[in-house]
A and B are shown apart, each in its own frame.
Chain A
Amino acid sequence: DAGVIQSPRHEVTEMGQEVTLRCKPISGHDYLFWYRQTMMRGLELLIYFNNNVPIDDSGMPEDRFSAKMPNASFSTLKIQPSEPRDSAVYFCASSIVGEQFFGPGTRLTVL
């Protein structure tokens, strides 16, 4: 199994642009999580899905952030418009029971 796949690995964009981060969970996992990690705030849960349905999006910072999971093998996290304070590493993780498996992350820099 290839593990959780995220793309792109690095993204540099200018303020105001739309950013789309992508995640492919491990096949058979029914939970998918999006996290954001910064030095200041640590690892924050943004949203998670169970069987493609969003369960808790209370961690999504603002309306500029949205996440979708159209099927069991794909999820996106979109930021529109992006701002410099959105610069962080965004992780996707999936699980079936217990432990979560993390992707390598997308390092986002908003100039």
Chain B
Amino acid sequence: SQQGEEDPQALSIQEGENATMNCSYKTSINNLQWYRQNSGRGLVHLILIRSNEREKHSGRLRVTLDTSKKSSSLLITASRAADTASYFCATLPGSQGNLIFGKGTKLSVKP
């Protein structure tokens, strides 16, 4: 069954604006990860946040995690046309093993 559910399914913004994507999940997790997929390519890992962390930054990316609400958000600040892609959250229920991916948010950044 689907663990991660991203919201919104699609997001269209202008270059320079911030983009916020949300992810909800159902069971307890060891960590939560965000991936990016450009059209026709494989997924690329962006950032990992552990269950005992609340916020993490990487460049223009900011990820938050609220384990009490079983939710996470990915914020991309000062978006660029090159950020146009699909973004997936993925949860790791145990300490190792398979990630469970959501269906993704399709982000379109217009120049």
The interface of chain A, by Cβ under 8 A from chain B, is 4, 31, 33, 42-43, 45, 48, 50, 55-56, 91, 93, 97-105
Please classify the interface of chain A as helix (H, G, I), strand (E, B), loop, or mixed, using the class held by over half of its residues. strand
Q: How far is the CB of B50 from chain A (nearest CB, A)?
A: 9
Neighbour of B41 across the interface among A98, A100, A104, CB < 8 A: A104
The interface of chain B, by Cβ under 8 A from chain A, is 31, 33, 41-45, 48, 88, 90, 92, 96-104
Please classify the interface of chain B as helix (H, G, I), strand (E, B), loop, or mixed, using the class held by over half of its residues. strand
Are B45 and A43 in touch, CB under 8 angstroms? no
Task: Give how many A-B residue pairs fall within 8 Å (CB-CB).
Answer: 51
Are B98 and A102 in touch, CB under 8 angstroms? no
Q: How far is the CB of B92 from chain A (nearest CB, A)?
A: 8
Are A98 and B48 in touch, CB under 8 angstroms? yes
Assembly CA distance A102 to B48 (angstroms): 16
Are A99 and B48 in touch, CB under 8 angstroms? yes
In the complex formed, the residue of A with least CB distance to B41 is: A104
Are B42 and A102 in touch, CB under 8 angstroms? yes
A-B contact pairs, 15 of them (CB 8 A): A4-B42, A31-B97, A33-B98, A43-B104, A55-B98, A91-B42, A98-B31, A98-B33, A99-B33, A100-B90, A102-B42, A102-B43, A102-B44, A104-B42, A105-B42
